[in-house]
């Protein structure tokens, strides 16, 4: 198990390094003078030169990459003409537009994204897993047919269409809810929850189809295994078989996939955030792209990538912990 | 090539792949078993077609897609027939006093404007929807071709190369599959000059970021195929590795690659729509469904058709591709249908 863990972590570090090269290459390849971008339109050549010096843009590419990585690992200093601006690790650079540290911006936006992802998870675990279990246990009935048809239809539906239709029906026509506008949890928990309800539903229901299929498949698979047949032959009650034994087989994949999905969403549910105006990481990315704030864009991409990669590792480990055969293969 | 469609490589499946493998298994379980009279040779073209025709859902979705492709191809003709132009503004058709709501019922449907006009600008909706279909299909097909080209090349090289090559390419493939495509796509669109043609940019971005799955499948297939007798015979016959790859392996790879393309196409349509929805895809005034949906948010009550038409088109297209892809997969190889899905990556959020 230890060896398996180390292997997976090693792989993750490799992916992260590749990502950092990619992301750095992005800034480096970008057309236009970063110093001019950072300085703004009304800068004199002297000011631009100063900014270029401050951002270290005169150095060789490899030096700049090394500085970039060092900034993430150990932090770095930027000279501001009058003094030194300390950017602590993990330093992802300074925003072109606001002179704020990118790390700070990201940390500020993270809670909104996290609350979206976790709320959605509650919904897909309840709705998706519930529907999957029901359809696996009531084979041949209306329930099974309904779940199968619904999940098939829901596969491939873009999340923003689901969100748009929900907005249209719930807010514009039925008027059950006002159009959501984000309220921070710290400001007013009740309003926060009401305004997050639709984003949670959108993302949660979107993912539910996947979880329903997964749960159904793994439950059916477990129920078909020899040891279940043996239990049945011994006269173990159906309730005990399902509750104690079938679930044991059905749950690990769900947990592993949930870890993966939450990680991906921590990395930003870009579309959902954009649709509902939630000021999370995804929206930060889009806003950064719009004003060509490259350090913010690259910082967010790195954090999102790291979230996905780490989630992959966690999912693998959780799966391995639940099912030892994985480690051996 | 008969009989080869059945062969499926063991592949190197990561823990993640295992999860998604389990995840997609019901697709095969839910699908009807092919007709018992089906021939034992799964990949003969006639057999595949017969199996496809025997499934009403496949026939229906193929029909829907054929109509859609025809409409997209004939878009200039059809809009000319309607006497419309997707770019012409009609200020007289929208009520500027009410913020630009189309005048008339159902979003301004009239004899001239068959599906009404766009709120705010008065541009013909029928024309814009059709031209949107062109963009959507163009980007999706183009991106799929790029993905398959890179995926087949890398997968073949990994499968045929020595241990070092295989290891290196497999790691690169792992990295490509692990990275979030939508996020990187957004970032890439930020650093490309504004005058670069957007559809081409989207094709390249989606293509270059999304070949990991294809590469995995081709590698796994290649590893299996190269151990088979007919490949060994070709090699013993004095053919070089490239000739073997081209003459013996590529034909046998066609079935899994086509199957995987059927998975990629709808996914790529969604990615294009998503990027355009986020405002980093196709740039106005070029029409695209995703962009329309992003604009439509302010017109829910005043002009519901403006939301429902592009949303409906997008849904029908994706669904038709998905259903047809599923049918093709089963028809090509009923037994291995589920396994090919392992490389699928679903772009969410």
- CA dihedral for A103, A104, A105, A110, sign (positive or negative): positive
Question: What pLDDT, on a 0 to 100 scale, did the predictor assign at position A199?
Answer: 93
Quick one: pLDDT at residue A163?
92
pLDDT digit string, tens, across residues B108-144: 777 777 777 888 777 888 888 999 999 999 999 999 9
In sequence order, the 6+-apart residues with CB closer than 8 A to the CB of B68 are B133, B137, B316, B317, B320
Higher pLDDT, B33 or B190: B190
Q: Which of A261, A296, A268, A308 is nearest to A112 (CA)?
A: A268
Interval B67-100: pLDDT, tens? 999 999 988 888 888 777 888 777 777 777 777 7
Structure confidence at residue B347 as a pLDDT band (50, 70, 90):
very low
Look up the pTM and report it: 0.83
- Interface check for A327 against chain B (CB to CB < 8 A): the answer is no
User: What does the pLDDT average to over B301-308?
Assistant: 84
**pLDDT at A267 (0 to 100):** 65
Nearest CA in chain B to A297: B187
How much is the pLDDT for A268?
62
pLDDT of residue B245: 82
Residue B311 makes CB contacts below 8 A (sequence gap 6+) with A161, A164, A165, B293, B296
Whether the CB of B302 is below 8 Å from some CB of chain A: the reply is no
Which chain B residue lies closest to A160 (C-alpha atoms)?
A: B274
* B242 vs B2: which has the higher pLDDT: B242
Interface of B with A in 236-275 (CB under 8 A): 266-267, 270, 273-274
Dihedral, CA atoms, B223, B226, B227, B230, nearest 10 degrees? 150
CB within 8 Å of chain A, chain B residues 130-189? 171, 174-175, 178-180, 182-184, 186-189
Which stretches in chain A have pLDDT values below 70?
27, 31-32, 40-41, 79-81, 267-268, 324-329
pLDDT above 70 (res B39): no
Average pLDDT, chain B: 78
- Quick one: DSSP state of residue B38? -
Q: Domains in chain A, please, with CATH?
A: 108-328 (1.10.3720.10)
| A216 in B contact zone (CB under 8 Å) | yes
Q: What Rg do the C-alpha atoms of chain A give, in angstroms?
A: 24
ω into residue A144 within 30 of 0, thus cis? no
Residue B220 has pLDDT above 80, yes or no: yes
Question: So what's the pLDDT on residue B40?
Answer: 38
At B14 the pLDDT is 36
The closest of B15, B20, B27, B89 to B259, measured between CA atoms, is B27
**B194: which residues sit within 8 A by CB, 6+ positions away?**
none
What is the C-alpha to C-alpha distance for residues B178 and A34, in angstroms, rounded to an integer?
29
For chain A, the first-to-last Cα distance in angstroms comes to 12
CB A301 within 8 A of CB B187: yes
In this complex, do A164 and B296 lie within 8 Å of one another by their Cβ atoms? yes
Q: Which pLDDT does position B337 carry in this prediction? A: 46
Give the pLDDT score at B27.
35
pLDDT at B137: 94
Name the band, by pLDDT with cuts 50, 70 and 90, for residue B335: low
* pLDDT score of B171: 84
Average pLDDT over residues B27-50: 50
Q: What is the pLDDT of residue B154?
A: 95
Residues in A touching B322 (Cβ below 8 Å)? 155-156
Tokens of A252: 């690990």
pLDDT value of position B334: 57
Best of B190, B277, B341, B345 to disrupt the A interface (most A CBs within 10 Å) is B190
For the purposes of burial, counting CB atoms within 10 Å of the CB of A74, is it exposed (0-12), middle (13-18) or buried (19 or more)? exposed
């Amino acid at each position: 198990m230890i060896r398996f863990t180390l292997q997976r972590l090693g792989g993750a570090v490799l992916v992260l390094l590749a990502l950092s090269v990619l992301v750095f290459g992005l800034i480096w390849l970008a057309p236009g003078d970063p110093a001019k971008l950072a300085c703004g339109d009304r800068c004199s050549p002297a000011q631009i030169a100063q900014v270029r010096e401050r951002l270290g843009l005169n150095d060789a590419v490899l030096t700049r990459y090394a500085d970039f990585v060092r900034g993430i690992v150990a932090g770095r200093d930027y000279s501001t003409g009058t003094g030194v601006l300390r950017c602590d690790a993990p330093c992802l650079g300074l925003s072109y537009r606001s002179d704020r540290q990118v790390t700070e911006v990201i940390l500020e936006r993270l809670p909104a994204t996290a609350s979206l992802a976790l709320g959605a998870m509650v919904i897909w675990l309840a709705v998706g897993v519930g529907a999957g279990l029901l359809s696996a246990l009531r084979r041949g009935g209306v329930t099974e047919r309904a779940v199968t048809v619904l999940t098939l239809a829901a596969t491939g539906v873009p999340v923003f269409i689901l969100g748009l239709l929900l907005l249209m029906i719930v807010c514009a026509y039925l008027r059950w809810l006002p159009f959501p506008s984000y309220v921070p949890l710290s400001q007013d928990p009740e309003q926060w929850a009401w305004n997050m309800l639709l984003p949670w539903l959108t993302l949660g229901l979107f993912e539910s189809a996947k979880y329903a299929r997964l749960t159904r498949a793994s439950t059916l698979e477990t129920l078909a295994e020899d040891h279940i047949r043996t239990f049945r032959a011994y006269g173990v009650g159906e309730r005990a078989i399902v509750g104690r034994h079938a679930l044991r087989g059905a749950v690990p994949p769900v947990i592993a996939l949930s870890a993966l999905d939450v990680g991906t969403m921590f990395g930003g549910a870009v579309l959902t955030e954009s649709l509902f105006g939630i000021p999370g990481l995804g929206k930060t990315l889009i806003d950064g792209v719009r004003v060509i704030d490259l350090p913010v864009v690259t910082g967010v991409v790195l954090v999102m990538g790291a979230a996905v990669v780490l989630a992959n590792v966690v999912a693998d480990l959780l799966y391995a912990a639940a099912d030892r055969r994985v480690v051996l293969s | 090539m008969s009989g080869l469609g059945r062969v499926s490589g063991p592949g190197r499946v990561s823990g993640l792949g295992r999860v998604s493998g389990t995840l997609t298994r019901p697709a095969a379980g839910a699908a009807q078993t092919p007709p018992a009279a089906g021939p034992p040779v799964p990949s003969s073209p006639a057999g595949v077609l017969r199996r496809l025709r025997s499934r009403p859902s496949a026939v229906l979705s193929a029909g829907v897609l054929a109509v859609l492709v025809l409409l997209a191809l004939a878009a200039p003709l059809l809009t000319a027939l309607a006497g419309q132009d997707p770019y012409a503004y009609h200020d007289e058709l929208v009520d500027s006093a009410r913020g630009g709501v189309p005048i008339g019922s159902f979003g301004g449907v009239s004899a001239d404007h068959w599906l009404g006009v766009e709120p705010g600008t008065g541009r013909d909706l029928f024309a814009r929807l059709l031209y949107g279909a062109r963009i959507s299909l163009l980007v999706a097909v183009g991106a799929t071709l790029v993905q398959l080209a890179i995926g087949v090349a890398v997968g073949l090289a990994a499968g045929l190369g020595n241990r070092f090559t295989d290891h290196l390419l497999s790691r690169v493939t792992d990295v490509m599959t692990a990275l979030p495509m939508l996020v990187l796509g957004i970032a890439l669109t930020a650093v490309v000059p504004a005058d670069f043609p957007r559809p081409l940019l989207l094709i390249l971005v989606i293509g270059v970021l999304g070949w990991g799955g294809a590469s995995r499948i081709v590698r796994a297939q290649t590893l299996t195929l190269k151990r088979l007798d007919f490949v060994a015979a070709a090699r013993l016959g004095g053919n070089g590795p490239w000739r073997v790859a081209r003459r013996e392996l590529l034909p046998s790879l066609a079935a899994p690659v086509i199957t995987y393309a059927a998975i990629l196409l709808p996914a790529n349509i969604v990615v294009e729509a998503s990027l355009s929805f986020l405002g980093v895809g196709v740039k106005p005034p070029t029409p695209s469904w995703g962009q329309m949906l992003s604009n439509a948010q302010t017109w829910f009550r005043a002009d519901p058709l403006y939301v429902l038409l592009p949303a409906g088109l997008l849904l029908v297209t994706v669904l038709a591709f998905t259903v047809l892809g599923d049918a093709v997969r089963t028809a090509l190889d009923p037994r291995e249908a589920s396994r090919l899905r392992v490389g699928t990556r679903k772009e969410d959020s």
